[in-house]
Structure 1
Amino acid sequence: MPPFARFTILRTGVACLALLLAGASAAAFDLQGHRGARGLSPENTLPAFEKALRTGVATLELDIGMTSDGVLVVSHDPKLNPDITRGPDGTFLAGPGKALTAMTLEELRSFDVGRTRPDSRTAKSFPEQTPVDGTRIPTLEDVFALAERLGAKDVRFNIETKSSPAPDAGTPEPRAFATALAKAIDKAGLGERATVQSFDWRTLMALKEVSPDIPRVCLTSEGNFDTLQRGKDGGSPWLGGLDVDDFDSVPALVTEAGCTTWSPNFRNLTQPLVEEAQEMELAVVPWTVNETDDMARLIDWGVDGLITDYPDRARTVMAAKGLPLPAPVAP
């Protein structure tokens, strides 16, 4: 073989290896756009998901509920949220609206979720959010179709089942919910690009039975919203029959639940917990991290990803830390 040919092959091989390593590194840090990009566009809407994709994320994080006619729709709240919902007459709801489970998709489509009520806590929390009037609550299928249409062939979907063990929650029955979601993921051919997360681990355990190959993400929260409920007689109803007091740590609890990823409230996380979870082969992806100082600290701790309302801020921090950035979808 002539020397120039050997050099060409070597150079090509090195280039290919570099690309492979770069791709592996990029995949190693999971930048997730929370509810699309809630800090920039109306939450859980097609404009928010497009904004996240145009900004550049590895994963779209989204919430789902179910209508009375069995359609999976993308919404954080089990009832229409008056801070972000206007009726057909264009005025914001006076109070919490009907439960999603009490409305058909056609009924739900009559509401506008394209801007926040100006005097609401939501509006004050997200002053950079750009309204998009006329925006409707999308179906899960709509979100899958958007990513396909925009050519986002590698983006992943982290889908949260908005379920609650409270008897008056008005959320879908866990097994029916998990079954419907598994069917939707399979129909879209996204089994290798989807994870399912929940605070209500009953849905995760049902999903394990219905479709064990779909990776599951255990969400946890301690504080005002406490899903672990340490010391509670009989354990927390959020944990699907497990009791945190039976385990040495939360990562051990998550491992027993069969999740591959632990997503805690970032305020509940410590570096030793990150290290312990990763020693148990759990990925650690905290929520919802919006301030750059917090992002930088968590990256330094070695977390596997971040869920954030501001993927643009996270990209700036990632770049400063030398992490490869997910490619934005081209206009």
Structure 2
Amino acid sequence: MPNGRIEVHGHRGARGLRPENTLPGFAHALELGVDVIELDVGLTADGVVVVNHDQSLSPVTTADTAPVVPGDPLFPYVGRELRDLTLAQIKTVDAGVRRLGPGQDCDPFLLTQLPLPGTRLPTLAEVCDLLQGLEEVDPAVELKTDPGWPDDEVRRFVLAVAEVLDSFGLLSRARLLAFDWRVLAEARIHVPQAARVALVERKTLADGTAWLAGLSAADPAAAAADAGANVLSPEHDLVTSRLVHDAHGRGLRVSVWTVNDPVDMARFIEYGVDAIVTDYPDRLHQVLATYDIPRPQPRTPVRLP
């Protein structure tokens, strides 16, 4: 029977309940009770770390409103890379209403997510400001790169994220997440005080993968330890009790993503994972309660969005 603490990670805030990667979404996750706020970041053309899941603005989560200046040749902005847009341009898009993507005929989050029209994408600094005074809640920041990025751009991105976290006194509490394990290597050198989380999914564990910075995908736990990770974070369909055992044997914590079915939550608790990343923190609270496992307390941000 499991015992001890299992962390609740709010995925993109609470994606199942509020618009993802937005200040209202993060605030709602805090109000439900989470140990960790998980978010994704990119870098704008003018060097600002902004919160968004993809490297480009997705038509599923964002919609254009108006150009930042009349006749802007880059408008419409949705569909463009973050690195090609300034913060001012990105701040014009509406991130508060989820929509069906091209070719989609259903989206389960449309049934459960509360639309909040007019919500803007936040900067990492704005999220850090929201977490001020909440020492019990840590930020988990996924840096969105891929193997096609030059090494110097990866390094620049890591340093930019670290600078923001450090300016709010959050660097030593932060977790830096990446599928592109060059991020972990740069963080180990330049930001050793932050925890490093090795993300894996089937695509990044394929033969000959470039995602793992030259390490073998044959043994994910061993590779993550060699990469200098503190945490192995696999996609839920990769997680077995053996993988959890192997990771723990190498001194790694295990954080499984993204788990929304209570039956799966219970299974991973039985496996002994250390954290569960979910779009529905409220569901995870209910499952943890059946195991009499302590749950994070609701928190009200000092600075409401």
Taking structure 1 as the reference length, the TM-score comes to 0.83
Q: How does 1:82-121 map to 2 (within 5 A)?
A: 82-89=59-66, 97-117=79-99, 121=104
Offset at 1:84?
Answer: 1.7
Distance 1:110 1:119 in 2: 20
Q: How does 1:307-326 map to 2 (within 5 A)?
A: 307-326=277-296
Distance 1:43 1:85 in 2: 10
Distance 1:32 1:135 in 2: 22
Distance 1:63 1:98 in 2: 17
Distance 2:244 2:121 in 1: 35
- What's the counterpart of residue 42 of structure 1? 19
Distance 1:143 1:171 in 2: 27
Cα distance change of structure 1 residues 123 and 156 upon mapping to structure 2, 3 Å threshold: farther
Offset at 1:153?
Answer: 2.6
Distance 1:195 1:84 in 2: 25
Could you say what the CA RMSD is over the residues aligned between the two structures, in angstroms?
Answer: 2.3
Offset at 1:97?
Answer: 1.6
Q: Secondary structure at the match of 1:142?
A: helix
Distance 2:236 2:63 in 1: 32
Identity of aligned residues (%): 40
- What's the counterpart of residue 143 of structure 1? 127
Indicate yes or no: 2:172 matched with 1:199: no
The unaligned stretches of length 5 or more in structure 1 are 1-23
- What's the counterpart of residue 328 of structure 1? 298
- What's the counterpart of residue 251 of structure 1? 221
Contact 1:156 1:193 in 2 (8 A): yes
Task: From 116, 130, 142, give the equivalent of 1:132.
Answer: 116
Distance 2:156 2:126 in 1: 21
Q: How does 1:227-306 map to 2 (within 5 A)?
A: 227-230=204-207, 232=208, 236-245=209-218, 249-306=219-276
Contact 2:139 2:175 in 1 (8 A): yes
Instruction: State the Cα deviation string for residues 270-290 of structure 1 (Å, max 9, x = none).
Output: 101111111211100111001
Contact 2:59 2:78 in 1 (8 A): yes
Cα distance change of structure 1 residues 203 and 118 upon mapping to structure 2, 3 Å threshold: closer
- What's the counterpart of residue 163 of structure 1? 145
Q: Which has the higher contact order (CA 8 A, sep 6+)?
A: 2
Task: From 211, 214, 218, give the equivalent of 2:198.
Answer: 218
Offset at 1:96?
Answer: 5.4
Contact 2:62 2:78 in 1 (8 A): no
The unaligned stretches of length 5 or more in structure 2 are 68-74
- What's the counterpart of residue 71 of structure 2? none
The 10-residue stretch of structure 1 (110-119 or 68-77) with the greater mean CA deviation from structure 2: 110-119
Q: Secondary structure at the match of 1:112?
A: coil
AA paired with 2:48? V
Offset at 1:330?
Answer: 4.1
- What's the counterpart of residue 13 of structure 1? none
Distance 1:282 1:252 in 2: 10
Distance 1:264 1:315 in 2: 21
Offset at 1:181?
Answer: 1.2
AA paired with 1:32? H
Instruction: State the Cα deviation string for residues 50-90 of structure 1 (Å, max 9, x = none).
Output: 01000000000000001011100000011110112111159
Distance 2:7 2:156 in 1: 29
Higher helix content, 1 or 2: 1
Distance 2:275 2:152 in 1: 29
Spell out structure 1 runs of 4+ moving beyond 4 A: 93-96, 118-123
Query: Which has the larger Rg?
Result: 1
Contact 1:82 1:94 in 2 (8 A): no
Distance 1:74 1:153 in 2: 21
Cα distance change of structure 1 residues 175 and 229 upon mapping to structure 2, 3 Å threshold: same
Distance 1:203 1:166 in 2: 13
